[in-house]
């Protein structure tokens, strides 16, 4: 959920959690610098079924790649044990920072939504090839947490976009369980399909104009805009000049 802080992975946190911190020495302005070899966060959670799970995520795992990115922070491990019993249980890794982590069964947010028992609605998403995605948990959680720097300036001030149009509106509708969310989603799908049909019509007409110019032809009764009236379409006619220069259909 570090997107709510405006960062990704460990970059959203201060250096005192991942690199170094200072300890004051006596009353003087002297400090001892302590280097951090690794750091991790452990969190115990439970759901409505009283299933207790402990989550573990590294802040600094020491697994740094050639680009300086900490690979260990891109995973969360979970244990089906309370915090004080995780040494007795096995853990399973869930991936983060991947475009499919909200839908893939091995993605953390997909797992978390299932663990909580949330049935997330489908919404339009301009960043997806099929134009559809779930309403991401990160957007919903922006209504539950107020970030202390920007969070007081607006409602859902730190909500990430993620390609979801009108994301604030959709989050509010989901939280209030309004039917408007389903209606607005269907409306957006219809509007998207209408635009695709209109764009295809305009492209076809442009190609037709090119062909008319090549053959010195003319078209009659062409509608000024796309229409569903079959009478208007059936009355269209194309005239092509014959060898004597006479236009014929």
166-207 confidence digits (pLDDT tens): 999 999 989 998 877 778 778 888 888 889 889 998 898 889
For 88-120, what is each residue's pLDDT tens digit?
Answer: 668 889 988 666 778 888 899 999 999 999 989
Q: Is the model's pLDDT at 237 over the cut of 90?
A: no
Q: What is the predicted pLDDT for the residue at 248?
A: 67
Question: Which residues are within 8 A (CB) of 94 and not within 5 positions of it... i.e. 6 or more apart?
Answer: 75, 76, 77, 78, 101, 106, 107, 108, 111
Q: Return the domain boundaries, the chain.
A: 2-60+92-178, 206-248
- Residue 18 backbone dihedrals phi, psi, to 5 degrees: -130, -20
Cα–Cα dist 173/167, whole Å:
10
Structure confidence at residue 15 as a pLDDT band (50, 70, 90): confident
**Rounded CA separation 75/97 (Å):** 8
Q: CB 54: neighbour CB atoms within 10 A?
A: 20
Helix (H) or strand (E) holding 122: strand 122-124
């Amino acid at each position: 959920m570090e997107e709510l802080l405006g960062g990704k992975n460990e970059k959203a946190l201060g250096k005192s959690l991942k690199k170094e911190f200072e300890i004051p020495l006596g009353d003087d302005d002297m400090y001892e610098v302590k280097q951090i070899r690794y750091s991790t966060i452990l969190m115990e959670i439970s759901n409505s079924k009283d299933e207790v799970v402990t989550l573990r995520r590294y802040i600094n795992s020491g697994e740094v790649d050639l680009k300086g990115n900490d690979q260990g922070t891109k995973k969360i491990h979970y244990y089906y044990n309370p915090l004080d019993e995780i040494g007795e249980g096995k853990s399973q890794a869930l991936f983060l920072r991947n475009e499919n982590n909200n839908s893939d069964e091995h993605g953390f947010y997909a797992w978390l939504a299932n663990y909580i028992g949330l049935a997330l609605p489908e919404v339009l998403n301009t960043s997806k090839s099929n134009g559809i995605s779930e309403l991401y948990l990160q957007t919903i959680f922006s209504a539950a947490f107020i970030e202390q720097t920007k969070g007081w300036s607006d409602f859902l001030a730190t909500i990430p976009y993620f390609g979801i149009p009108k994301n604030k509106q959709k989050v509010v509708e989901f939280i209030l369980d309004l039917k408007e969310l389903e209606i607005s989603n269907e409306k957006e799908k219809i509007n998207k399909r209408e635009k695709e049909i209109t764009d295809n019509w305009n492209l076809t007409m442009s190609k037709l104009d090119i062909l008319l110019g090549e053959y010195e032809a003319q078209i009659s009764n062409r509608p000024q805009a796309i229409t569903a009236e079959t009478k208007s379409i059936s009355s269209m006619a194309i005239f092509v000049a014959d060898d004597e220069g006479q236009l014929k259909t």
